[in-house]
Structure 1
Amino acid sequence: MEIIFEEDIEMDRGTTKVTTHPAEKEHWANIEVAIQTSEKRIMVINAKNDRNVSIVSSSIAVIEPEGRMCSVRVITGEMFHLNTRLKFVEEVLNSPQFIKINNQTIINTSYIKEFSATDNARIKVILTNGSCYFVSRYYIKNFRRNYHG
């Protein structure tokens, strides 16, 4: 099978168009699965030794600002740094599974264990690793709209 990549500035970012010969239609499901399951990797800095490391974005549980960088905590508990500000992280990740829940936190919705309403119209979110975060009132609509757990 020959693979040809083309750019189309008219397409939305995050959209992929696959064009095949009609005889290849029986393979579309396999092609879609291969594209959907391909893991996006990002370069982070190991907090212990300052070395660059490539990690799978789906392993990230929480991202929080730390000075001019961001701290990245993966679900296993390891800590990394991402050399960008929090306001640009969503562009770097470019994934609907990451939701900003307050001015200081982006979480991976894949790791939400449970959530419940609290005082002052906020939501308490508990991740599978036991960590607890709060969705601020400003981000509640976005959280409800984008979390499909």
Structure 2
Amino acid sequence: MEIRFEADSGMDRGWAKVVTHPSEQEQWKHLEAALQAAEKRITVINAINNRQVTLEAGKVAVIEAEGRMCSVRLITGEMYLLNTRLKFALDALDVPGFIKINNQTIINIRYIKEFSATANARVEVLLTNDSSYTVSRYYINHFRRSYHG
């Protein structure tokens, strides 16, 4: 199979579109597995047994400040700890699609289901797992620039 790469500035950063001939459809699972294996991974701590676990960064839905560490919540609801402060968590991830929405929270914009305006010029964000978070006034302009919904 010949592979050809093309850039499309209309696509969001962090996304890829794979186009194949219909007869190559049986290869899709193999291609998907190879691309997911190449995805950025982060090392977190399982708080139950204090062991380190490696996760795909794209599966992280929310990162919240927890003192000198961060709690990492996957979209499936699993919770882990990240051994860094929130202000360094975005650098540790180094993955597009994560934005800071207030002084305590970073979210993955891929999992935003909907958002709505609330009182005091804030925005309430609802994720696909039905958890909600507030975008503070300070971060609202960054949120608007980053999220294209």
Question: TM-score band, normalised by the shorter chain?
Answer: 0.7 to 0.9
TM-score with structure 1 length normalisation?
A: 0.77
Distance in 1 between the 2:136 and 2:67 partners? 21
TM-score with structure 2 length normalisation?
A: 0.77
Post-superposition offset of 1:76: 0.7
- Structure 2 match to 1:39: 39
Q: Which amino acid aligns with 1:60?
A: V
Pair 1:59 & 2:44 matched: no
Count of residues paired in the alignment: 123
Post-superposition offset of 1:36: 7.4
Post-superposition offset of 1:28: 3.1
- Structure 2 match to 1:97: 97
- Structure 1 match to 2:146: 146
Q: Identity rate of aligned residues, in percent?
A: 64
* Residue correspondence of structure 1 range 98-137 to structure 2 within 5 A: 98-137=98-137
What is the RMSD computed on CA atoms of the aligned residues? Answer: 2.0
Q: Please state whether the residue corresponding to 2:120 is helix, strand or coil.
A: helix
Post-superposition offset of 1:27: 3.0
Post-superposition offset of 1:47: 1.5
Give per-residue Cα distances to partners, 1:64-98, cap 9 Å, x unaligned. Answer: 01111100000111110000000000101112200
- Structure 1 match to 2:76: 76
Distance in 1 between the 2:45 and 2:95 partners? 21
Asked if structure 2 preserves the Cα contact closer than 8 Å seen for 1:96 and 1:146, the reply is: no
Unpaired segments ≥5 residues, structure 1: 1-25
Q: Which amino acid aligns with 2:5?
A: A
- Structure 2 match to 1:28: 4
Give per-residue Cα distances to partners, 1:95-120, cap 9 Å, x unaligned. Answer: 22000000000000011000001100
Give per-residue Cα distances to partners, 1:38-66, cap 9 Å, x unaligned. Answer: 31110000021110000000110100011
Q: Please state whether the residue corresponding to 1:72 is helix, strand or coil.
A: strand
Q: Which amino acid aligns with 1:27?
A: I
Distance in 1 between the 2:96 and 2:56 partners? 15
Distance in 2 between the 1:82 and 1:117 partners? 31
Larger radius of gyration: 1
Unpaired segments ≥5 residues, structure 2: 7-15, 19-30
Q: Please state whether the residue corresponding to 1:139 is helix, strand or coil.
A: helix
Asked if structure 1 preserves the Cα contact closer than 8 Å seen for 2:46 and 2:52, the reply is: yes
